[in-house]
Chains A and B, each alone.
Chain A
Amino acid sequence: MYSLEQLARSPSRRAVVRSGLAGVFVLGFHLPARAVNEPEQPPDSTQGKFAPNAFIRIDRSGQTTLVMPQVEMGQGVYTAIPMILTEELDADFNKVTLEHAPPNDKLYGNPIFGIQVTGNSNSIRAFWKPLRMAGAAARLMLVQAAAQQWQVDPASCSTSDGVVSHPSSGRTLSYGDLIDAAGAQSVPKDPPVKDPKDFKLIGKPLKRLDTPNKTDGKVVYGIDAMLPGMKFAILAQCPVFGGKVGRVDDSAARKVPGVQEIVVLDDLVAVVGDHMWAAKKGLDALVINWDEGANAKINSSDIWDDLRAASKKDGVVAKSVGDVAKGLTQGERVDGEYELPFLAHATMEPLNCTVHVTPDSCEVWTGTQVLTRVQQSAAKAAGLPLEKVKAYNHLLGGGFGRRLEADMVAAAVRIGKQVDGPVKVVWTREEDIQHDIYRPVYRDVISATLSGGKIAAWKYRIAGSSIMARWAPSIFINGIDIDAVDSAVDNPYDIPNFQVEYVRAEPPAVPTGFWRGVGPNNNVFATECFMDELARKAGADPIAFRIGMLDKTPRLKAALQLVAEKSGWGQPLPARTGRGVCAQPSFGSFIATMVEAEVDEHGEVHLRRVTSAVDTGIAVNPDTIAAQLQGGLIFGLTAALWGEVTIERGRVRQSNFNDYRMLRIDEVPKIDVHVIKSGEDPGGIGETGTTAGPPALRNAIYAATGVALRRLPIDRKAIAVPGKA
């Protein structure tokens, strides 16, 4: 039923479809305001089909194809989006097929960003209403077509599993029988959507549509693209950020069996071979003298010195309530500074891009979170107009923000221009980790006062890179990066005097980008660590302390109460074992998390149990919500326990999974996720576990040892029994 691998293997399929039946009915689906206002172009594969909008195609046999505007990178959106569309369309969920959207911001732009972007945990938030309307409009047109044929009132018809029925006469017509007549209907502008109490699919833990092919090797990721006559390339960029290629001696490399070509560009070298091993051996045999440039002097200590200095300056005020200066002079004052390291993404599927570049065409096969940017980047690198570039998306072997960038595409196209025929450019794991676009270092300075067991004033200053200023400069306004202050300006606690400032501080040499959890990673960590320090100062239980200030955020309060109940909060624990909590209102979801951990005498941390309670509004697929929390928590806990990229002489010290550690199955405890029933619109979920894990773990360590760590990753020496580290 699901044949994305065939789609990926035959890029010409759209052309085949296009040459098919005539008599097209096409109507562009209008996305809300921030998308695009230009006239929509029809997508490619609508011929001979009922195609009332960009997402739905029904052919004469009744086969329903759904075009996915958001990409599947594990988060379950290739199940949730079909659930939403099918719910309103009343098609048979078990018979739909899926297609990756082609690059087209007008048709498939994310309503929040205005371009094709999958990120910021907003696929369902952004598309919830547009997709329901799209499904409902299509259903209504099919009903009207049937009602006309039967000469009955459309209101007397019903729909289910791809069939329109007229119950009082017993007549039925399948959607496939109605495609021509439905296509002749005008598209309803404001079709009624279902009352949530009538949902048949939404809210049920349905099986994912993308997973069967992931159990038997049939799935095709970008790295699996195979083309006739394809060659394979491995690249090397200067180990020092920004460095250039100096001299290259390729005499030994050319003798390696299977090496076909050696491509030398100003900033990278690639070896092209019959297979990856030939390319790898060829690369190892090259003697490259790099022109390392000015960044070769930079070390992590320089970067931290700069950031600490920057964090002492006043920032741009992102939010101010009451009188924070006055509030900080009254009551018991507490100060804290929190620091987070550079992180690599380390998607399991290493970066890769397959290209076929000719003088007047360029084709690109990859898995990306930003397909139109990939197309644009390829066009620029190829020196071709956009319409000469075709870009085919794939399922992603992890995104985590790394595939919000198109650097791997530009590099592949520049290499591909030198190669006759298609070439697959794959980054080794070492290249992937050492030439990432890193989660920035952050430093947060917080001052607060306590009065009567509550927070009277809160001054919070973030210092760190602005990713938005590079990635979406048009929304970097007045010196405020809305991502960098996310979950800081919307602090959920009732605080009468409150201020958040942002200091943009770009680290020298190191490129920075989005990383799962984005801005809230930093702000939830600092906020929730500091909340525990304040609770201790107030002599209060950490959960009770938070709940006392959550009257304005009842959904978070309820999540905290549930996690307290489910996690065994307050029950006795062995020595050097603690429970820590994190409460967060991030990404439109309200989540409370408890981590229970033991710190052994050597300072090693053993995770014992994790419990989360999540109110994400209507849970489209509750099992996916639970899975995203479980996985996101492990992603965050991995970073808290091990994640740090360090810079030495302008280059990244870490290189592979031996020195950039991941949590493994033997280190992961039971994780219970409790999904709270809610009728609110859906919130985001993909990044929430990642932001929740680190502060909850740190607070567990604080409870276990009394040591208030203020930096990640966890410093084992600081929490070991003295003399036992």
Chain B
Amino acid sequence: MNLQINGENRTFDAPSDVPLLWVLRDVLGMTGTKFGCGIAQCGACTVHIEGKPVRSCLLPVGAIGNRAVTTIEGIGATPTGARVQKAWLDVEVIQCGYCQSGQIMSAAALLAVTPHPDDSDIDAAMAGNICRCGTYVRIREAIKRAAGDGQT
């Protein structure tokens, strides 16, 4: 089977019903994408398919076809992704960090379509990503910073 992941063609052997999450982590060894719940409730496994945020724990690899997959390992190659990563460090969002791959992927997807999100845009885009350390206040601030909209 073939997938376009972070601009590279990756070939691997797996049944088509395997969720992308497990192909990334267990087959390809790309462990940046995280397992959190397995039922698309927490967002830790968020990746982009053609730039749109998708929960990889429920996405069978056979359903992806030629569409481009972007993961946390590759998001820094996009200007928006790099801005989000920098803002995350500038604001010092991160605590344990386990959910943050998914948070960053959701935030990058938001900013790609809504360059200057307001609080309700942020709520709508980010409410699917749970952070158990409670970094939400800083996530909101970092998204605004990445958007160039400064401090809240």
Interface residues of A (CB under 8 A from B): 73-76, 207-208, 210-212, 214-221, 223-224, 226, 232, 257-258, 274-278, 280, 346-350, 395-400, 426, 428-429, 623, 627-628, 630-635, 638, 656-658, 662-666, 668, 670-671, 689
- Option from A258, A347, A657, A665 in Cβ contact (under 8 Å) with B122: A665
Which of chain B's residues has its CB closest to A72's CB? Answer: B96
Q: Is B115 an interface residue (CB 8 A)?
A: no
With A347-B98, A349-B98 given, name 6 new contacts (CB 8 A). Answer: A212-B89, A217-B30, A219-B97, A397-B97, A429-B37, A665-B140
B63 proximal to A (CB < 8 A) = no
Instruction: Decide yes or no: A74 and B95 within 8 Å by CB, A215-B85, A665-B129, A668-B136 being known contacts.
Output: yes
* B117 sits at the interface (CB 8 A): no
Contact with A along B79-93 (1 / 0, CB 8 A): 000000100110011
Contacts of B14 in A (CB 8 A): 275
Can you name 12 A-B residue pairings with CB atoms under 8 Å? A214-B97, A215-B72, A216-B73, A217-B30, A398-B98, A398-B132, A428-B38, A634-B136, A658-B39, A662-B130, A665-B131, A665-B140
Q: Is B98 a contact of A211 with CB atoms below 8 Å?
A: no
B96 contact set on A, CB distance < 8 A = 73-74, 347-349, 395-399
Give B95-152 interface residues, CB cut-off 8 Å to A.
95-101, 104, 122-124, 126-140, 152
Contact A348 B44, CB 8 Å, known A211-B92, A211-B94: yes
Do residues B101 and A217 form an inter-chain contact, with CB atoms below 8 A?
A: yes
Partner of B98, one of A207, A221, A657: A221
Q: What residue in chain B is nearest A635 (Cβ atoms)?
A: B134
Which of A76, A216, A668 meets B95, CB within 8 Å? Answer: A76
CA distance A217 to B71 in the complex (A): 9
Q: Which of B35, B127, B134, B137 contacts A350, CB < 8 Å?
A: B35
Nearest CB on A from B14, distance (A):
7
Dominant secondary structure of chain A at its interface with chain B: loop
Q: How many Å from the CB of B128 to the closest CB on chain A?
A: 8
Q: With A216-B76, A276-B26, A657-B37 in contact, do A348 and B134 touch (Cβ < 8 Å)? A: no
Residue on B with the closest CB to A689? B134
Nearest Cβ in chain B — how far from A382, in angstroms?
Answer: 25
| 10 cross-chain pairs, A with B, having the tightest CB-CB distances, nearest first | A217-B32, A634-B134, A397-B98, A74-B96, A74-B95, A214-B97, A631-B134, A275-B26, A666-B123, A224-B31
Q: Which of B73, B92, B127 makes the CB contact (< 8 A) with A627? A: B92
Q: How far is the CB of B138 from chain A (nearest CB, A)?
A: 7
Q: Provide the bound-state CA to CA distance between A627 and B138, in Å.
A: 9
State the CA gap A274–B25 with chains docked (Å).
12
Nearest A-chain residue to B105, judged by Cβ: A217
Per-position 1/0 for B51-76, Cβ under 8 A of A: 00000000000000000000111011
The binding surface of chain B is classed by DSSP as loop
- What chain A residues lie within 8 Å of B127 (beta carbons)? 664-666
Chain B residues within an 8 Å CB radius of A670: 137, 152
Query: In the complex, how many angstroms separate the beta carbon of B108 from the nearest chain A beta carbon?
Result: 11
- A211-B94, A224-B31, A348-B98 known; A398 and B41 CB under 8 Å? no
Task: Please tell me if the beta carbons of B137 and A671 are within 8 angstroms of each other in the complex.
Answer: yes
Q: B5 near A: Cβ within 8 Å?
A: no
Q: Is the CB of A665 within 8 A of B104?
A: no
* CB proximity of A611 to chain B, nearest CB, Å: 12
Within the complex, what minimum Cβ distance (angstroms) separates A46 from chain B? Answer: 30
Pick from A212, A276, A278 the residue with the most CB of B within 10 Å.
A276
B49 in the interface (beta carbon within 8 A): no
Taking the complex as formed, is B34 at the interface, i.e. its CB lies under 8 A from any CB of chain A? yes
Q: Which of A76, A426, A630 has most B Cβ within 10 Å?
A: A630
- Residues from chain B with a CB closer than 8 A to the CB of A226 are 29, 31
Closest Cβ of chain B to A711, distance in Å, is 23
User: Which A residue's beta carbon lies closest to that of B26?
Assistant: A275
Q: B39 — which chain A residues lie within 8 A by C-beta?
A: 429, 656-658
Q: Is the CB of B41 within 8 A of A658?
A: yes
Which one of A217, A224, A632, A666 has the highest number of Cβ atoms from chain B below 10 Å of its Cβ?
Answer: A217
Report how far A257 CA is from B98 CA in the complex, Å: 30
CB distance A429 to B38 under 8 Å?
Answer: yes
For the complex, give the distance between the alpha carbons of A313 and B44 in Å.
Answer: 47
Fill in one digit per residue for B6-38: 1 if any A CB lies within 8 Å of its CB, else 0: 000000001101110011011101111111111
- With a cutoff of 8 Å between Cβ atoms, the chain A residues found around residue B94 in the complex are 74, 208, 210-211, 214-215
In contact, B26 and A665 (Cβ under 8 angstroms): no
- Any chain A CB within 8 A of the CB of B42? yes
Point out which of A276, A348, A635 has the most chain B C-beta atoms below 10 A from its C-beta: A348
Cβ of A665 and Cβ of B98 under 8 Å apart?
Answer: no
**Bound state CA distance, A558 and B1, in angstroms?**
65
Closest to A628 in B: B95
A215 contacts B89, C-beta separation under 8 Å: yes
Contact B36 A216 (CB under 8 A): no
What residues on A are CB-neighbors of B136 within 8 Å? 634, 663-665, 668
Given A210-B97, A631-B95, A662-B132, decide whether A218 and B22 contact each other with a Cβ distance below 8 A: no
A670 to B152, CA, bound (A): 10
Q: Which residue of B lies closest to A429 (CB)?
A: B37
Which of chain A's residues have a CB closer than 8 A to the CB of B71? Answer: 217
B73 touches A668 (CB 8 A): no
In the complex, residue of chain B having the shortest beta-carbon distance to the beta carbon of A624: B92
Task: Say yes or no: B76 contacts A429, CB within 8 Å.
Answer: no
